[in-house]
Chains A and B, each alone.
Chain A
Amino acid sequence: MDAQRLKENFARVAEQGDAVALFFYSDLFVGNPQLRDMFPIGMAGQRDKLLRALGLIVSRVDDLPELVPFLQQLGRDHRKFGILAEHYPHVGASLIRTLRYFSGSAWTPELEADWGAAYGLVAQVMQEAADDDSRTSPPWWEARVVAVERRRFDLAVLRVEPDRPLPYLPGQSVAVEVPARLRQWRFYSMANAPRPDNTLDFHVRLVDGGAVSSVMVRTLQPGDRMRLGAPIGTLVLDESSPRDVLLVAGSTGLAPIKAILEQIAQRAARPPAVQLFFGARTRDALYDLEDLRKLAAELPWLTVVPAVSDEAPPRPGFIDVRPSLDGSLARVASANPPPEDSDIEYGALPAVLARRGSWAGHDAYVCGPAAMVANTVDELVRLGVDRARIRQETFVDTQR
């Protein structure tokens, strides 16, 4: 197999962009109509994913130590879509036809043989990983919603119960599929450390125009079913580290952070000092603050710092009117600021972090919207945190 030849050929084909993936899927479905049902109606996102994955695979086709773990993960991930061994040859045939079609006169028998060999390798690694995985876990977990708390019109906390234990590390996430939006999987982090009753919490924020998040926030009810994929993610606690811990969460980025916090609380060893910064644009978006304050009151080693970026501190004499949970408006106590909110910091998270001290020597875990995570990490590095001691995750594209 001539890796360079493959790369050059793929680079040439990939210049046609979306048309390549469009042809590939159409070719696959014309020949195998039964496969169409495994995909969503709208395929634009799917095509992007295909091209990205292909590009990545081809770029590392001569670097197996890099490529193999990626392919193994890909193989395991595909189990939840219902992909079986018998589907791989169809995909390979369509892929070759697509490449031939877009290569035009540059296509040669040698190229065809190379691509065939490369695809054979990819399919084999993916299938073996899927097979290995099938010995220990199901392709997906069926789960039932047991509780829904709508904390704001666009924020909900869901509790679900999988039909069998779903082992995961706090901080990891799973892909979720709801029946009202079949074939559309979205990643959500578990917001709790594993419990004896196996239940999982998800913090869901409605993304404007998001097909899945709107269903999750607005229409899911106890008793509704969903499917969960296998847990993934690297935002997990470094249990070997004796350092103090800084947890930084923006909006529903709190979910994995809270799971990690619960894990720290459960550890037998006396937990190090932990500071949790929970930021949102407005006060009413700090949807889980009550619970965090309760934890902070119980755990002497924990400090919780809420931060609001887009609101000014309440003025004296101010009476706040807030929507209550049932949707009606309610007047909030006229004392000012409300005594329970005296712990709130005003400003964006990086600024608040800078104000609250030096963080050198801490392990930091950061999760939230992309911009918030990037700015926070930069600021922490500036404040003396070792970049290698920062673990981060963003949720932007994944939660629509």
Chain B
Amino acid sequence: MTHRGEPLYPSDVPDGAMPYPPLNESASPRGHLPAGVPPAQEMSVPGPAAPGGFLVARPDRLTPGEVRGTNFARAGRGRRGLDEDEVHAFLDRVEAELVRLGNEKAALAEEVQSLRERLSAGGARGGMPPEEAHFQAVRILSQAQQTADLYVADAERYTRELAHEARLHREAILSDARGRAELMMEEAHQRADRLAEEAARQSALSHPQPAAPVPAQPDGGDRLAAEREIAYLRTYSDVYRTHLRSYLEALLRNVDEWEKSEQNALPARHQPPAR
């Protein structure tokens, strides 16, 4: 069988380069699929330019088997060779098939090109090239990190301020306690002094000074001084103790409360993880 006249389709299809449809070989991405996985739908459908594609047998399409199996009738009586009409009819079909194949190939080439372009522009779903995607990920992670840093810094500042206030509070309590203690002591001193004077006077009245000193007895003045001292100390310590106890107890409650609230505010104590 021979061609008649000019090629019927664009010259970019070289002669003889029309391997009938081994599309499912080598270059096909299907080669990467594990065995048993059916080819993806879109692989078997080249596109609207070639409805049905190569894989679906259609009655009007010429197949290699058909070409090989074609038998032309002998020409009629008085003529040599094959039946001219049959040969022409067959050549028409071959021509139509080649045009169709040429068109389909051009459409596919276009399709491949456009898919390649979409891929290099960052994937089929409006994505971005890998480099850009990486920078985007870096940016997102950086923002998340900055947010975390902000929270950590805020928490630290808050703790610092809280601790600072607690420290001031503590110093104020202690200084107040010292001031009150001094006042208390002063008051105790004055009251004890008064009572001691009183005790000494009472003692002087009930134990009048003997006319002559008795050597075995302590000196009357000394005794008087000692009694005054004892009375002073007893009263002083009583007053002081009472005041101090009630005050310190109140203060202690205050401190306990403070400590408790601070402990409640602390995060739960972690058990160290085993490592």
Contacts and interface: CB of A to CB of B under 8 A. Distances in A.
Q: Do A and B come from one complex?
A: yes
Contact of B251 (A23, A41, A329): A329
16 contacts: A22-B146, A26-B142, A41-B148, A43-B149, A44-B153, A154-B167, A179-B272, A208-B167, A219-B269, A224-B272, A320-B181, A321-B174, A321-B181, A328-B248, A329-B248, A331-B248
A291 B198 CA distance: 48
B238 to A, nearest CB: 15
Interface in B156-175: 156-157, 159-161, 163-164, 167, 170, 174
A26 B145 CA distance: 8
Contacts of A317: 182, 185-186
Interface of A: 22-23, 25-27, 29-30, 41-44, 101, 153-154, 178-180, 206, 208-209, 211, 214, 218-219, 224-225, 317-323, 327-329, 331, 334
Contacts of B87: none
Contacts of A320: 178, 181
B269 to A, nearest CB: 5
A219 B266 CA distance: 10
A155 to B, nearest CB: 13
Given A209-B160, A318-B182, 9 more contacts: A41-B148, A43-B149, A44-B153, A211-B156, A224-B272, A319-B185, A322-B174, A323-B174, A327-B256
Interface of B: 134-135, 137-139, 141-142, 145-146, 148-149, 152-153, 156-157, 159-161, 163-164, 167, 170, 174, 177-178, 181-182, 185-186, 244, 248, 251-252, 255-256, 259, 266, 269-270, 272-273, 275
Contact of B141 (A30, A101, A218, A224): A30
Contacts of A43: 145, 148-149
Given A208-B164, A317-B185, A327-B259, A218 B138 contact: no
A218 B273 CA distance: 19
Contacts of A26: 137-139, 141-142, 145
Contacts of B161: 209
A78 B135 CA distance: 28
Contacts of A29: 141
A44 B149 contact: yes
Nearest to B158: A209
A65 to B, nearest CB: 37
B273 A179 contact: yes
A42 B153 contact: yes
A329 B157 contact: no
Given A22-B142, A321-B174, A30 B137 contact: yes
Contacts of B153: 42, 44
A88 B12 CA distance: 53
Given A29-B141, A224-B272, A321-B177, A327 B159 contact: no
A318 B179 CA distance: 9
